[in-house]
Amino acid sequence: MPAPQHWYCPNCDAAARTVADNKLPMHSCPGLHDLTIPLVKSGTKCKIEAVEREDYVGRELVQTGSHGRPVMSVVTTRDDGQDCTIYPATAHAERGEL
At 46, give phi and psi (nearest 5°). Answer: -160, 175
What pLDDT does residue 41 have?
A: 92
pLDDT per residue as tens digits for the range 43-87: 999 999 999 998 888 888 999 999 999 999 999 999 999 999 999
For residue 98, pLDDT beyond 70: no
- Contact criterion met (CB below 8 Å) for 32 and 74: yes
How many domains is the chain partitioned into structurally?
Answer: 1
Question: Does the pLDDT of residue 28 top 90, yes or no?
Answer: yes
Q: Is residue 91 part of a domain?
A: no
Q: What is the pLDDT of residue 15?
A: 95
Query: How much is the mean pLDDT over the chain?
Result: 90
Task: Say if 93 falls within a structural domain.
Answer: no
